[in-house]
A and B are shown apart, each in its own frame.
Chain A
Amino acid sequence: SQQGEEDPQALSIQEGENATMNCSYKTSINNLQWYRQNSGRGLVHLILIRSNEREKHSGRLRVTLDTSKKSSSLLITASRAADTASYFCATDAQGNEKLTFGTGTRLTIIP
């Protein structure tokens, strides 16, 4: 079963705008990660945030984590056409190394 949900399910924005997607999860976690997937192919790791961290940056990516609300958000700034993809959050729990994925957000960047 899926651990959580991404919101929105689909998002279309103009190139250059910022894209924000949210992830909610159900149980206590050790880490939360965000992945990108192009056209049903393999997953590309974007960023990992640990349960004791609240915010993390990597290039144009900004991730926040609120463990009290069991939620995370991924912000992509200055979007590009190449950012068009599906984005998934994935969590793992202490002593349980499997990744539990959300349902994904399909992001479309309009040139």
Chain B
Amino acid sequence: DAGVTQSPTHLIKTRGQQVTLRCSPKSGHDTVSWYQQALGQGPQFIFQYYEEEERQRGNFPDRFSGHQFPNYSSELNVNALLLGDSALYLCASSLGAGGFPFFGPGTRLTVL
């Protein structure tokens, strides 16, 4: 049984560019949450998707957007990248919005 998978593993972009990160949830899970973890910090909640809709959002600007597909996989899009967007982006899936979250290995984004 595959756990949560994320792609790509690493990514390097330059300021002003746009990036798309992908997440496939654990089998049987229908809810995906995204977190940003800056170096030396704890993860911070970006948003959660359930039934293809954004259910809850953290304190992140509109440059951060997402999508959930009918197969429950999800994308995180970040526009107009800033140096401060450099971080590890973690995806977590669960069964239902309040279900126990399983985390993926993360995508390391570096913005130059």
Contacts and interface: CB of A to CB of B under 8 A. Distances in A.
Chain A's interface size range is 20 to 34
A98 B41 contact: no
Contacts of A101: 35, 42-44
Chain B's interface size range is 20 to 34
Contacts of B33: 98-99
Contacts of A88: 42-43
Interface of A: 1-2, 35, 40-45, 48, 88, 90, 96-104
A46 B65 CA distance: 30
Nearest to A88: B42
A98 B98 CA distance: 8
Contacts of B59: 1
A97 B33 CA distance: 10
A103 B58 CA distance: 17
Contacts of A96: 56
A2 B48 contact: no
A99 B31 CA distance: 14
